[in-house]
Structure 1
């Protein structure tokens, strides 16, 4: 798979209706889009191992125990505590190699195996830290893929929410803290992380690729194109930045004022 083929896969994923979003394949396409000189088979093989091992464990263990033991025990997937800012932690192929990564990258392996084995598991866009929600006979539970899939108790969820800056009346609402998000939103969160970290170190080429992947994955959202424009401007590619701003404006007229001001500023730099 080359970068052009990866973009085609992401474009198709962007057109997929909710419930049919190809999370694992789209995540692999994102990784190849970032660096085509790699073998995607490693991530696919690890994902399939997770499906097989989880299916075996579900015969004798509860869903939450089986999922955690499969991912953290059998596959040795865990959070990277030492190089937390490393961009490899946000790459599904690199994580398959190192078995360490960000919570959201690890969570994609959890979600893939769980779905294939008939479990109801969704991502949770928890502030500051990605979590998983698994439905059990006793009700929904929160799992932390960064901490070897352990169950996060309601009191801990509230503590984390308060630490993240949520108000007490929101931090006590478990229904809001554990609100599930779509698979598309999971992968978008991962690309947002890459964009933010790359931008912070002025790696505008990588930032542009991450923003472009977001634009392909969610073609109805104008905001990724604003980030594409920002990354291109950081590289001095002003004509490309102007083109991206025009794309943003064409998608959503509601951003016309913000995009128009940014576009005019770039246009004046071109002249």
Structure 2
């Protein structure tokens, strides 16, 4: 019998450094907010089965790119994981339990599946917080192998990476130095925050303010005082009629970010909050 795979406590995460913050268990912790009966052990075991079914083949291959090609073949061709291009913004694509169940995901959730399987096989695959579309990277002899998990792990060459980055850099093509900087490995904390930012965006867009507030609150559990999350939680609280919470968060946001581009409108919100009735939930 193996020890059951357990999830961390939300209040313990802020104190962990980026290297010790666990990726899989925290991603499942995010999913448990929406799926309280989630059995984390089940998904850890499933990942282990994905990895073990490949171990003999991977150990027999020498070159990193060929190891990675075998992992991608198993995940995307044989097990059927794929990018959900039809319902890209479906929140289920951000909840890892649903990604395992449906074999559908967005770039960042599919990257986490890829990374977990690869790392269990000794392949040092990292995530890349690429602008627009999350990617993965593997160090190889002559540089980096960069792949797109949303498109079956397809390798991307330098020209395509430059073109993908261009719209996010004011239309400029990044030079080698800028591109290398963009391709730095993303920390586990950065990956998990990006998952939660995606969820916040989907819920705020749909006026689901309770879940939007929860998503911003979870970001603050990972990175206390993160400015955008403070603002986002404050605005969600405002929509929910939780005025004291809104006042507290927006005041901290204004205090910490006096030069933010939305400062005028945030100050106006605060004035309204401070002069209006203090209805509380």
For normalisation by structure 1, the TM-score amounts to 0.86
**Aligned Cα root-mean-square deviation (Å):** 2.5
Other-structure match for 2:209: 204
* Cα deviation digits, residues 10-42 of structure 1 (max 9, x gap): 332222112111000000000001231333344
Other-structure match for 1:265: 272
* Cα deviation digits, residues 57-82 of structure 1 (max 9, x gap): 32234232133123223432110121
Q: 1:149 aligns with which of 153, 158, 181?
A: 153
88-97 vs 36-45, greater mean Cα deviation: 36-45
Q: 2:241 aligns with which of 223, 236, 239?
A: 236
* Cα deviation digits, residues 198-256 of structure 1 (max 9, x gap): 1011110110111111010112524322211111111122122223335657xxx5336
Q: 1:76 aligns with which of 61, 75, 80?
A: 80
Other-structure match for 1:28: 28
CA distance in structure 1 between the aligned counterparts of 2:135 and 2:10, rounded to whole angstroms: 24
How many pairs does the alignment contain? 263
The structure carrying a bigger helix percent of its residues is: 1
User: 1:113, CA displacement in angstroms?
Assistant: 2.1
CA distance in structure 1 between the aligned counterparts of 2:27 and 2:55, rounded to whole angstroms: 23
Looking at CA atoms only, which structure, 1 or 2, has the larger radius of gyration? Answer: 2
Other-structure match for 1:18: 18
* Cα deviation digits, residues 112-144 of structure 1 (max 9, x gap): 222233222221111110001111223211111
CA distance in structure 1 between the aligned counterparts of 2:12 and 2:70, rounded to whole angstroms: 33
CA distance in structure 2 between the aligned counterparts of 1:113 and 1:91, rounded to whole angstroms: 17
* Cα deviation digits, residues 126-170 of structure 1 (max 9, x gap): 111000111122321111111111111112112222244543342
For normalisation by structure 2, the TM-score amounts to 0.83
Other-structure match for 2:3: none
Other-structure match for 1:175: 180
Classify 1:208/1:66 alpha carbon distance in 2 versus 1 (closer, same or farther; 3 Å). Answer: same
Q: 1:138 aligns with which of 142, 159, 184?
A: 142
Classify 1:102/1:232 alpha carbon distance in 2 versus 1 (closer, same or farther; 3 Å). Answer: same
CA distance in structure 2 between the aligned counterparts of 1:163 and 1:55, rounded to whole angstroms: 40
Please tell me whether residue 65 in structure 1 is matched to residue 51 in structure 2.
no
SS in 2 for 1:140: strand
Gaps of 5+ in 1: none
Other-structure match for 1:114: 118
Other-structure match for 1:90: 94
SS in 2 for 1:65: helix
Please tell me whether residue 43 in structure 1 is matched to residue 50 in structure 2.
no
Please tell me whether residue 160 in structure 1 is matched to residue 172 in structure 2.
no
Classify 1:227/1:144 alpha carbon distance in 2 versus 1 (closer, same or farther; 3 Å). Answer: same
User: 1:171, CA displacement in angstroms?
Assistant: 6.1
Q: 1:189 aligns with which of 194, 198, 217?
A: 194
Classify 1:168/1:90 alpha carbon distance in 2 versus 1 (closer, same or farther; 3 Å). Answer: same
Gaps of 5+ in 2: 1-5
